[in-house]
Each structure stands twice: as structure tokens, then as C-alpha cells.
Amino acid sequence: MLQEDLVAAVDWLKNPSVATAKLARKKPGSSDYIVTNEEITVVNRFENISLDADTVLGVEFIDGEWQPYKADCGPESQSMSIYSAGGFESEESGSITPGEGSI
């Protein structure tokens, strides 16, 4: 789970953004997850994607960096929908259930 906003990269090749995230792990003997105190640095090379603090995301270790490959915004975040007739429309996002390997 992101601890701070992860803004879009200025240049994906030379100027990515970074933010701290806490790892979530399954409780022993349960299907429930808990957010731990373990932290990693997430590197965002997407130039058109920013993620708010408290976003649950999946990361991959690529070339020495933890990079996001999926994300699900928290209940207080805004998401965009392409289903509106006039283009994009803002809507409240719902709750999430993290999958194995999510942080």
C-alpha cells in the first residue's frame, strides 16, 4: 500500500518518480491480509499514470526496481471511466480485495 502519492514520471527513460509502499502479507492460517511495517521504494516509469497514497498495488522487480503493474484505488480516490458519452467522467471507486503478492 502506497504511503505517499506516486506521481507520473517526467520522462520514463531518465526521470521516473518514486514513493514508499508498505508490504501486505497473508495472516498465517488465514485468507486475510495485514499491512506490515516492511517498506520498499516503488519506481513509477509511467508518464500518464499517477497513484494516490493508500492505493493498493502489485509490483514487479524489474532491472533492480520495484515497478507497479496493477493498482486499485482506495475508497476516497477518484477514478476515471471511459463509459460516459462525452468522454471521461469522474466516479467514486469501490472497495478492494488484494490478491497474493499485492502491496
Where in the chain are the domains? 17-92
Long-range own/partner contacts, residues 37-43 (CB < 8 A, 24 or more apart): 39/3, 40/66, 40/103, 41/66, 42/2, 42/6, 42/18, 42/66, 42/67, 42/68, 43/16, 43/17, 43/18, 43/67
Residue 39 has a pLDDT of 97
What is the full per-residue pLDDT of the chain (103 aa) written as tens digits? 999 999 999 999 999 999 999 999 999 999 999 999 999 999 999 999 999 999 999 999 999 999 999 998 766 655 544 443 444 333 443 333 344 444 4
- Helix residue ranges, H only, the chain: none
Q: What is residue 94's predicted lDDT score, i.e. its pLDDT?
A: 38
Quote the pLDDT of residue 76.
60
pTM above the 0.85 mark?
no
